[in-house]
Amino acid sequence: MNEWNYRICEVCLKNAHERVVMVREVLVSADIKGDNKKEMWVCPKCGATKFL
């Protein structure tokens, strides 16, 4: 059985075998009004993102 943890960065785990904990961030689109916002998990090491 595979163990899956949402907060661990899968990219860092697969490539460097490191367990990097992702942080919650609110990302805003680049439009002028900034209407589109998404709360996501972001890896502080490689920058990979996951939707909540």
pLDDT at 36: 86
Q: The pTM is what?
A: 0.72
pLDDT band at 2 (very low <50, low <70, confident <90, very high): very low
Could you give the CA distance from residue 2 to residue 39 in angstroms, rounded to a whole number? Answer: 26
Residue 39: closest CA among 21, 23, 27, 22: 27
What pLDDT is attached to residue 5?
60
| Predicted pLDDT at 48 | 93
Which pLDDT value is given to residue 35? 80
User: pLDDT tens, 4-51?
Assistant: 566 899 999 999 899 999 999 988 888 777 688 888 899 999 999 988
